[in-house]
Amino acid sequence: MTGLFSGERVPKSDHRIAALGDLDELNSFLGALAAALSLDHPSLVQEIQHIQSQLFQMGAWLATTPDSSSLDLLEELTSEPTRALESAILAMEKELPELKGFILPGGHLTAAWAHLARTVCRRTERKVVRLLAQTDETKPSEQLMTILAYLNRLSDYLFVLARTCNRLVKAPDVLWKR
């Protein structure tokens, strides 16, 4: 058993705990990516650290059950962070060559970290979907839906960031050859 932010005790096998664990793992991979980027690209590091902060807020929502009075202590999640990711994606895409096929995850070490974070992000998104399916609510929580939208766009952001990391060090994306 383990405790939630809202005070309830749940089994460690609970879908809420699985989603929280993956969110924590995603945050750690983002930290590794920021550490790999730190000296050469401080603005990207700042952007990644902002994303990490957003993930902490989302984790607090995941760690609180829908009927808990602890919800009053949490800052409401809005769609603004998702829109910020979309703007960042568009800005990075303007600097990238058109993608004409599938690319293999990798290239420069920073791109590899971004690809790893992207795959963990996708897994986290699936775990939140599983959590939604587990809840007894007839209507999904608006906050959980906001988290899902953010994670969906974050994985796209991380894909474009991986390509940007390769571009910044003049490493080509590795095209998949059948």
Q: What percent of the chain has pLDDT over 70?
A: 97
pLDDT, position 69: 87
- 104 DSSP 8-state letter: E
DSSP 76: P
CA separation for the pair 61, 144 (Å, rounded): 8
Characterize 109-144 residue by residue with b for buried, 16 or more Cβ atoms within 10 angstroms of its Cβ, and e for exposed.
ebbbbbbbbbebbbbbbebbbebbeeeeeeeeeebb
Say if 70 falls within a structural domain. no
Residue 54 · residue 81 · CB < 8 Å: yes
Q: Give, as one character, the DSSP assignment of residue 144.
A: H
Give how many domains the chain has, as a whole number: 1
CATH number at residue 154: 1.20.1200.10
Q: What is the mean pLDDT of residues 148-172?
A: 97
- Which ranges in 13-141 belong to alpha helices (H)? 15-37, 42-62, 80-94, 109-134
Mean pLDDT of 105-110: 94
Compute the average pLDDT of residues 115-134: 95
**pTM, rounded to two decimals:** 0.94
Question: What are the backbone angles phi and psi of residue 74, rounded to the nearest 5°?
Answer: -95, 145
pLDDT band at 137 (very low <50, low <70, confident <90, very high): low
In this prediction, residues 12-16 reach a mean pLDDT of 92
Residue 141 included in any domain = yes
Residue 103 falls within a domain, yes or no? yes
Q: Is residue 48 part of a domain?
A: yes
**Which residues partner with 49 through β-bridges?**
none
- The pLDDT score that the predictor gives to residue 45 is 96
Q: Is residue 6 part of a domain?
A: yes
Whether 98 maps to a domain, the answer reads yes
Across 73-94, average pLDDT: 96
Domain hosting residue 55, numbered range: 2-64+75-175
Which residue type is seen at 23?
Answer: L
Closest to 70 measured CA to CA, from 132, 25, 5, 119 = 5
The whole-number pLDDT of residue 158 equals 98
Position 70, amino acid:
S
Alpha carbon distance 148, 156 (integer Å)? 13
**144, part of any domain:** yes
Provide the pLDDT for residue 127.
97
* 69 domain residue, yes or no: no
What confidence category does residue 72 fall into, taking pLDDT thresholds of 50, 70 and 90? Answer: confident
- Res 8: pLDDT: 87
